[in-house]
């Protein structure tokens, strides 16, 4: 029996689930969006660790045998010892950061800007990984964006929230903007319009497909 358990704080991971579904049409999937505890972005590592364990326990109780942490903010907590707690020999937790970094490095050698939650930016996880690859990267937190997307904020509101990232991308002359939070691709058109308005050309990269490939 093989069942993929996918989890996130809310709807963000559904973007990853959709990509997994496209690549594995017959796989059994079970999804957990932790709406009771969203947002994850402002939380500390220990809390994120506990929330990861809770999500995995819940998904396991629903039959999951493999796990996908479809939430960048959890990556810092998704470390080897965590998988060891779920000691079934084949248990593996796939997280967002490693597949994202390899996909981005394959795509460009130009300047990269990562937009993410506070937890992800504070952890330094992307900065470290990209620097190790010799890539030129900047990171910016958009602390309100995930929740605003979850609550279906209007375009105008979203535009104001993402404005600092748009400005930063222009300032650092980024060629590629990476959605380092799984909710953010749902605001892709808002990013697109904001850059268009500024007359700035940039590629927007959603790592969900790269993560699905890994899965």
Cα angle 18, 24, 25; round to 5: 80
Among 5, 12, 33, 207, binds ligand DGL (CB under 6 A): 12
Cβ proximity to ligand DGL, 143 vs 200, nearer residue: 143
Binding of ligand DGL at residue 183 (CB under 6 A)?
yes
Binding of ligand DGL at residue 15 (CB under 6 A)?
no
Q: Cβ–Cβ contacts within 10 Å for residue 49, how many?
A: 18
Cβ proximity to ligand DGL, 127 vs 200, nearer residue: 127
> How many residues does the structure list for the chain?
215
Binding of ligand DGL at residue 181 (CB under 6 A)?
yes
Q: Is 71 a catalytic residue?
A: yes
- 4, 38, 71, 74: the active-site residue: 71
Binding of ligand DGL at residue 182 (CB under 6 A)?
yes
Picking from 93, 104, 67, 134, the residue whose alpha carbon sits closest to that of residue 206 is 104
Residues in contact with ligand DGL, shown as a per-residue x/- string from 107 to 126 under the rule CB under 6 A: ----------x--x------
**How far is Cα 124 from Cα 139, in angstroms, rounded to an integer?**
9
- Binding segment toward ligand DGL, per CB under 6 A, in 35-43, 58-66, 87-95, 102-110: 35-43
For residue 61, the SS3 value is helix
Q: 77-85 long-range contacts, Cβ below 8 Å, gap at least 24?
A: 77/45, 77/48, 77/49, 77/51, 77/52, 78/52, 82/49, 82/52, 82/53, 82/56, 85/53
Q: Which residues of the shown chain bind ligand DGL in the complex (CB under 6 A)?
A: 8-9, 12, 38-41, 71-73, 117, 120, 146, 181-183
């Amino acid at each position: 029996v093989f069942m993929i358990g996918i989890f996130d704080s809310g709807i963000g991971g559904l973007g990853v689930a959709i990509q997994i579904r496209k690549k594995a049409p017959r796989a059994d999937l079970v999804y957990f969006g932790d709406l009771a505890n969203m947002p994850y972005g402002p939380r500390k590592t220990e809390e994120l660790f506990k929330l990861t364990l809770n999500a995995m326990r819940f998904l396991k109780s629903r039959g999951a045998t493999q796990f996908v942490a479809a939430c960048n903010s959890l990556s810092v907590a998704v470390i080897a010892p965590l998988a060891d707690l779920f000691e079934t020999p084949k248990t593996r937790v796939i997280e967002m950061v490693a597949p994202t970094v390899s996909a981005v490095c394959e795509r460009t050698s130009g300047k990269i800007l990562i937009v993410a939650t506070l937890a992800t930016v504070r952890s330094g996880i992307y900065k470290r990984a990209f620097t190790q690859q010799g890539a030129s990267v900047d990171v910016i937190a958009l602390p309100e964006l995930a929740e605003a997307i979850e609550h279906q904020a209007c375009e105008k509101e979203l535009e104001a929230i993402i404005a600092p990232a748009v400005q930063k991308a222009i300032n650092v002359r980024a060629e590629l903007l990476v959605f380092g939070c799984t909710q953010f691709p749902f605001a892709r058109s808002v990013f697109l319009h904001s850059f268009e308005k500024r007359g700035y050309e940039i590629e927007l990269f959603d790592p969900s497909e790269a993560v699905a490939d890994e899965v």
